[in-house]
């Protein structure tokens, strides 16, 4: 058996805070959860495993326990599961009553793995004495790692679900049928995050759905996802690779960029109380973009897509509000000004966005060789599902309604 510990994780301060809260005498055992039976707490999963940030050699597994717990993951290329991973944080195995993270980092590209997550309850008998008690296990799941040298690539993209249960359930039904290589959740998962307790139900167990136990989700942050008193806690639950919200990856012939457009109003808007600095954040991403597009994994890709929540372009005759320099209602003008030339340099063929709550495709024009695809809104009658498939002949991007009627279908040749 191969035992490995993941140390120095970027969310260590969150785990430290949880441990200190328990030691300080905060009662985590009080009250009964929704799944309590016969007046007694039933220890288990508040959310089934969420696979995220998959790469050719790594994957992250996010789990929410419903009580204070530690845990570990068994995994392997066969169902016998011959490897185990745990995580330590500054000399102690992680424990939390909110979220646990595991990273499998010795994987092979384009390979199928099986895994099972185990939780073990942690009980504090006093401020100084703790104990591991009962255990629960998930069912056996599987996933595939990415393969940059693969012949094909496929994805599904959601946007602006805004906690609409009917839409999320229908999208999850379609995802089960589509079975893509990965899911991109392209922003505005939430309306806001005012209480940290909301996050599990918004991101890990949306509409009581186990949506990413086999299909990894690649998260793209939206403007509503940064709103609310406890929105900063989102980084303790879900980010992109290395704790960032901008990143890139390659699957088969398709190179993908994920960019964070931030808020949809200027930083000095009264709503933000002087706490916003998204203009600097977009400038930093421009510097990152200028570097990442020079990497060989990107430059050799026959197809290139960028995902970002707020569109860069729109039909300017339909502005619904205007601000000079940063945002023009439907678009993020500041991102356009800072990223547009770099996207041309990178030969990005398509930008995929949401935000407008109305679907559209704005085709390339002279001076803007990339197209802009925009998905619809949270209500079932407006919601859309975007899928992509690429092979050695072409890349096809399709946008449908929840009824699977085709709204847009766009074909791209290899670069």
Same domain as 164, residue 140: no
Same domain as 80, residue 121: yes
Find the largest Cα–Cα distance for the chain. Answer: 70
Same domain as 221, residue 165: yes
Same domain as 385, residue 260: yes
* Residues spanned by the domain of 28: 2-144
**Phi and psi for 3 in degrees, rounded to 5?**
-105, 130
- Taking only the tens of pLDDT, the chain with its 415 residues reads 333 443 333 333 333 333 333 333 323 333 344 344 444 669 999 999 999 999 999 999 999 999 999 999 999 999 999 999 999 999 999 999 999 999 999 999 999 999 999 999 999 999 999 999 999 999 999 999 999 999 999 999 999 999 999 999 999 999 999 999 999 999 999 999 999 999 999 999 999 999 999 999 999 999 999 999 999 999 999 999 999 999 999 999 999 999 999 999 999 999 999 999 999 999 999 999 999 999 999 999 999 999 999 999 987 555 556 655 555 568 999 999 999 999 999 999 999 999 999 999 999 999 999 999 999 999 999 999 999 999 999 999 999 999 999 999 999 999 9
User: What six digits make up the tokens of 271?
Assistant: 């709503």
Same domain as 168, residue 249: yes
Same domain as 116, residue 41: yes
Q: Quote the number of domains for the chain.
A: 2
Given 125, 144, 163, the domain boundary residue is: 144
Q: How many CB atoms lie within 10 A of CB 375?
A: 28
pLDDT value at position 23? 31
Same domain as 111, residue 172: no
Same domain as 91, residue 239: no
Same domain as 327, residue 180: yes
Question: Which run of H or of E encompasses 342?
Answer: helix 333-345
pLDDT value at position 25? 30
- CA dist 300 and 42 (Å) reads 52
Given 118, 144, 170, the domain boundary residue is: 144
Same domain as 121, residue 191: no
pLDDT value at position 284? 98
Same domain as 185, residue 38: no
pLDDT value at position 1? 39
- CA dist 288 and 293 (Å) reads 9
Given 144, 166, 197, the domain boundary residue is: 144
**The domain that contains 264 carries what CATH number?**
3.60.21.10
pLDDT value at position 325? 56
**The domain that contains 111 carries what CATH number?**
2.60.40.10
User: What six digits make up the tokens of 151?
Assistant: 């012949």
Same domain as 390, residue 268: yes
Enumerate the H helices of 107-232 as residue ranges. Answer: 165-178, 198-199
């Amino acid at each position: 058996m191969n035992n490995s510990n993941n140390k120095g994780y970027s969310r260590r301060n969150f785990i430290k805070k949880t441990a200190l809260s328990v030691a300080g005498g905060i009662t985590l055992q009080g009250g009964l959860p929704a799944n309590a039976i016969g007046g007694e707490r039933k220890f288990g999963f508040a959310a089934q495993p969420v696979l995220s940030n998959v790469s050719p050699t790594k994957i992250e597994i996010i789990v929410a326990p419903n009580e204070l717990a530690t845990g570990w993951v068994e995994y392997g290329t066969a169902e016998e599961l011959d490897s185990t991973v745990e995580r330590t944080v500054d000399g102690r195995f992680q424990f939390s009553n909110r979220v646990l993270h595991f990273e499998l980092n010795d994987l092979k590209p384009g390979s199928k793995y099986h895994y099972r997550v185990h939780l073990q309850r942690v009980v504090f008998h006093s401020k100084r004495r703790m104990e591991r008690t009962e255990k629960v296990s998930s069912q056996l799941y599987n996933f595939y790692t990415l393969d940059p040298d693969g012949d094909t690539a496929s994805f599904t993209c959601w946007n602006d679900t805004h906690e609409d249960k009917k839409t999320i359930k229908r999208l999850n039904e379609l995802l089960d049928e589509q079975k893509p290589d990965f899911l991109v959740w392209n922003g505005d998962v939430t309306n806001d995050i005012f209480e940290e307790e909301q996050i599990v139900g918004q991101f890990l167990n949306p509409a009581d759905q186990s949506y990413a136990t086999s299909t990894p989700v690649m998260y793209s942050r939206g403007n509503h996802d940064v709103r609310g008193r406890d929105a900063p806690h989102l980084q303790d639950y879900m980010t992109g690779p290395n704790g960032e919200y901008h990143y890139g990856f390659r699957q088969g012939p398709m190179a993908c960029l994920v960019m964070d457009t931030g808020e949809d109003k200027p930083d000095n808007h009264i709503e933000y109380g002087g706490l916003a600095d998204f203009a600097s954040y977009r400038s930093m991403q421009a510097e990152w973009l200028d570097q990442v597009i020079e990497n060989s994994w990107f430059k050799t890709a026959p197809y290139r897509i960028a995902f970002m929540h707020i569109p860069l372009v729109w039909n300017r005759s339909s502005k619904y509000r205007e601000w000079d320099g940063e945002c023009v209602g439907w678009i993020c003008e500041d991102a356009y000004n800072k990223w547009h030339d770099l996207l041309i340099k990178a030969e990005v063929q398509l930008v995929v966005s949401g935000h407008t709550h109305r679907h559209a495709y704005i085709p390339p024009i002279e001076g803007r060789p990339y197209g802009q695809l925009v998905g619809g809104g949270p209500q079932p009658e407006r919601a859309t599902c975007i899928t992509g498939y690429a092979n050695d002949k072409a890349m096809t991007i399709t946008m449908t309604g929840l009824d699977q009627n085709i709204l847009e279908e766009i074909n791209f040749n290899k670069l």
